[in-house]
Amino acid sequence: MVRLSPEGEIVESIELPVPRPTIIAFVGADRRTAYITTARSGLDADALQAAPLSGAILSFRVDVPGVPE
């Protein structure tokens, strides 16, 4: 996952423990909690063993808040 500047330059990169992140949402009053849904469909047994969190919802805090929709 990457954070881009207004000019489109990568300013931060976050490694996720899954090969197929799907959608990110910023929640909370300060919009500094990120939730990312992930996919597991189509992954074979080896891929699932390597990335057991596939299909989970991941959550972490961010320094820069998301913008309102």
Q: Are 22 and 40 in contact (CB under 8 A)?
A: no
Structure tokens at 26: 């910023």
Express each pLDDT in 25-40 by its tens digit.
Answer: 999 999 999 999 999 9
| Distances, alpha carbon 42 to alpha carbons 1, 15, 36, in Å | 21, 21, 19
CB under 8 Å to 16, separation ≥6 — which residues?
A: 1, 36, 38, 58
1 pLDDT more than 90? no
Q: How far apart (Å, rounded) are the C-alpha atoms in residues 38 and 23?
A: 7
pLDDT at 69: 79
pTM assigned to the model:
0.83
Report the pLDDT averaged over residues 41-62.
Answer: 97
